[in-house]
Chains A and B, each alone.
Chain A
Amino acid sequence: MAQAIGIVTTAGPMPHDATVTEARLVQPAVSVGLGALSGHLQFRGTLDLEGWTMPGGELTPGAYGEGYIDRRHPHTYAHELMLTAHDVLGRLGGPAHLSAAFGKGFVAFGSDDPMSRPVALYPIDHHLAQILEREVAIAGLAAGPAALEVSWFNGDEPEYPSEWPNGRRFGDSYALRGSVAPVRGVEAQVSYAEVKSPEHRDGAGPPQEKWSASVRVDRTFGGRPAYALAEYARTSEASGAFLFHSLVLEGAVQAGPVHPYLRLERTERPEEARTGDVFRTPRPPLDNSLLGITRWSVATAGASVTALTAGPRFSVRPFLEASVADVRAISGTFDVRAWYGSNTILSLSLGVRLDWGMAGHRMGRYGTGIAAGGDGMEMPMMEGP
């Protein structure tokens, strides 16, 4: 599988009342899945080239994480290298299925990675609702429509695309996720994680306590494939000194070759002092200070069109996407209008998604974390007509 998105985004006002326009190749990824032992052993490897195509991040108003702000950070080159043993117990387990996964990849926490969701620009809550690019061991138990996963992983986030997880810290953090798929195409999950010092590689930073809950629907209504996600996430940092909440509602429908989508989001973001680059914050942080917390209320609407297909797997899908954000300070001295020039920030993106078998692939689930309802790892709504 492979994909890439060529995108031109214009956004403003950005810091110091500037309008910024840039073109990037984002989410260029090649993903390989290999199986053995009749599928009981699977390998998933995903190479992500964003460190090469967008080393300075992707212009995304409101986004933050890993030292980037108002830009989405580039993913690590080794985005996933996961070995999964499925149904380890076999017949011994009866109706229950036990899986084990190990490698570098997503922690079993929260909702699907936005790379596999309809909206091109990532939501602001990416670091509240997902934990990724860690050295992780996951044990999962599924019985019928329900599944429980537990993950052990290193707490530290990557600082740059070629960096590997701090192996000395493996296991200093853990996560739990319970999922249930009561009927086909409907799935709910609740997750909890304790992440030690995510923003300081050597462990000197404050810990995070994270919650996530979501309901996801991926079904056909009236002959039209449709998708919807409702997600809540909460992160408490430094033993409650800082609290961040997020609520995301997103949906998409397939109407012939056209795929319109909508995302509504309200997310609270930490405001840190920036470096000489207005889109960067110090990593590791110099101390535990915040300038404040802002709340971003964002509406994003867009549509993609399947313009070209070749064979069963290749598609070219241009898209147009626009967002409007209302930004308010809810704590601290950070002055939104002084920094941006306005409380309202707009963005417009025009791009084309090139896909070879990756559209609809739900990223970040291994073993029993794959939808218990039987839809597997695919998001049919995202695939071409």
Chain B
Amino acid sequence: MKGRILLALLAAVGACRDASAPSTATGSVPDGLIVVSGDRQGLDSGATPSPLVVQLWNKGKPVAGAVVHWEVTRGGATISDSITVTDGSGTAAVTVTPGSAGFGQGVEAGVAGVPPVDFSLTLRRPFQVLGGGNNVAERYTSDLWLAKGYGYTGTWGFRSAAGNVIKVWQLGGGGAPALVGADTIAGVNTVSDLQVSPDSTLLVATGESGPGAGLYVYGLTDPAHPALLAQWSIASATQGLHTGTLAEIGGQLYAFTARDPSAPSLLTFRVQPDSLAKIVLVDSIAMPANYGIHDTFVRDGLLFVENWNSGMWIYDVGGGGLGGSPGHAVFIGSVVTQGGEVHNAWWFHDPVTNEKRYVFIGQEGPDVIGVSSAGDIHVVDVSDLSAPVEVAHFHLGTTEGPHNFWMDEQRQVLYAAYYNGGVVALDVSGTLSGDLGSREIAEIQPGGSGDTYVWGVMLYGGSLYATDMVSGLWQLTVP
């Protein structure tokens, strides 16, 4: 008891001595509290974290006797002390025991009068294959969507048969996919994108590479047998629609689609299968031929357009407060992320922090199907939609690059399809900055090395489903 009182008195003296804010640094270390070690740790199961160590500097010299306050900010970790005092070298440390409230563990250290510092630790837990796999040998598999106990996958290019088919899968009791049917789209060589409407009544697909290229709408009254209700043809043998994203805005269903070069443009359709005009083009916006529009993400009346080397463009289509609508999109802002090649995006709504701060962007570099890929994940802060700024990135390897994303927002996990890199799970809790290499939770190549080239992922029924271009549809556990 006496020892603790003495410590507290010393701490108080130290705090008084250093009550003023640090002046401009005269040495190589800036004044203030810095992280010495322990930040950005990835922890396998059972691993003991390294201590979290800070050091306080003032006028180029370490400060001894300063009180450091420690606080767990996320993940439910426990720390050895909530208050420590810097030693003769200005250093203070705590040990941390990870909690079970999330893959991301956060601890903040602060000294009165100076900005605090954050420590981020990520728990690594593995994926496992549950079912599926090696179930589409004759075609390359493309996109996927799951709904009503069924899965729908697209096909791409020509393998030993044309990629003109939507495959229908029934999910068994444990969620394992079993092929139950296939719908052929005449006149296309790629079914590039799929999505089921929010009310699960419609399946919408985009087709490319052939006279049948365009938009296709199917009814899912019988989900095992999608029934073609309407189609919109782009009337070009060499162009098509590369992607399509569905969104309900103002009580109407819209499809925001990416038209291929040589006239790249955002084509917005109102989809109303119960009407005489089932697919109505409501807007067409030309995009820079750099190379052109690749994908879109729509949420809360905001449209995020992935415009390759022209970056990500943000529009108000009904939710941005600028009078925009699906038929009259209003431009808000844009950003070109490092390296360009902006392929896809996901706007993260964090239910834990109630922040809508980050957009995750996938960069698709040069790739050889089945062998190699390139690119990074870029994180953009959209706190100011008119001036988004890149704040962080994730790099897996020099020959692996990302493709499509899905998120478990409640658990603050980003799932990224990573082509030959398989599937990667990232902890995206807390503040994101710089290199997120330590944020990797798990990685898996479902088909094994040489037989993995994952196109897309989707969380459904507690499992993560992945479409692999060379090895079909897989069911994975989530970490």
Contacts and interface: CB of A to CB of B under 8 A. Distances in A.
A331 B158 CA distance: 17
Interface string B189-213: 1100000000000000000111100
A335 interface: yes
Contacts of A203: 290
A292 B368 contact: yes
Is chain A's binding surface mostly helix, strand, loop or mixed?
loop
B289 A201 contact: yes
Contacts of B156: 273
Contacts of B309: 204
Contacts of B291: 200, 202, 204-205, 284-287
A241 B366 contact: yes
B160 A282 contact: no
Interface string A195-220: 00000111111100000000000000
B363 to A, nearest CB: 11
Given A204-B309, A333-B159, A333-B370, A286 B242 contact: yes
Given A200-B291, A332-B371, A276 B187 contact: yes
Interface in A313-359: 331-335, 338-339
Interface in B203-257: 208-211, 237-238, 242
Contacts, number: 113
Contact of A332 (B341, B343, B364, B369): B369
Interface in A235-283: 237-238, 241-242, 273-277, 280, 282-283
Given A200-B291, A202-B290, A275-B237, A333 B211 contact: no
A273 B370 CA distance: 13
Given A204-B308, A290-B369, A284 B159 contact: no
B148 to A, nearest CB: 31
Contact of A289 (B242, B262, B292, B369): B369
A308 interface: no
Nearest to A201: B289
A289 B210 contact: no
A339 B157 CA distance: 12
A293 interface: yes
Contacts of B372: 241
A288 interface: yes
Nearest to B364: A287
A291 interface: yes
B157 A291 contact: yes
B371 A333 contact: yes
A276 B189 contact: yes
Given A275-B238, A288-B367, A335-B160, A282 B260 contact: yes
Name the residue among A276, A284, A290 with the largest chain B CB count within 10 angstroms.
A276
Contact of A276 (B209, B374, B470): B209
B261 interface: yes
A285 B208 CA distance: 13
A333 B210 contact: no
Contact of B209 (A275, A292, A332): A275
Interface string B405-431: 000000000000000000000000000
A333 B237 CA distance: 25
A147 to B, nearest CB: 36
Given A288-B367, A332-B369, A333-B369, A282 B190 contact: no
B369 A276 contact: no
Nearest to B258: A286
Interface of B: 140, 156-160, 187-190, 208-211, 237-238, 242, 260-262, 288-292, 294, 308-309, 341, 343, 364-372, 374, 453, 470
Given A202-B288, A242-B366, A338-B159, 12 more contacts: A159-B262, A242-B368, A274-B158, A276-B210, A276-B211, A282-B209, A282-B238, A286-B260, A288-B365, A289-B369, A333-B369, A335-B159
24 contacts: A159-B262, A202-B289, A202-B291, A204-B291, A238-B365, A242-B368, A273-B158, A273-B209, A276-B209, A276-B238, A282-B238, A282-B261, A284-B291, A286-B242, A287-B343, A287-B364, A288-B364, A289-B369, A290-B366, A292-B369, A292-B371, A331-B371, A333-B159, A335-B160
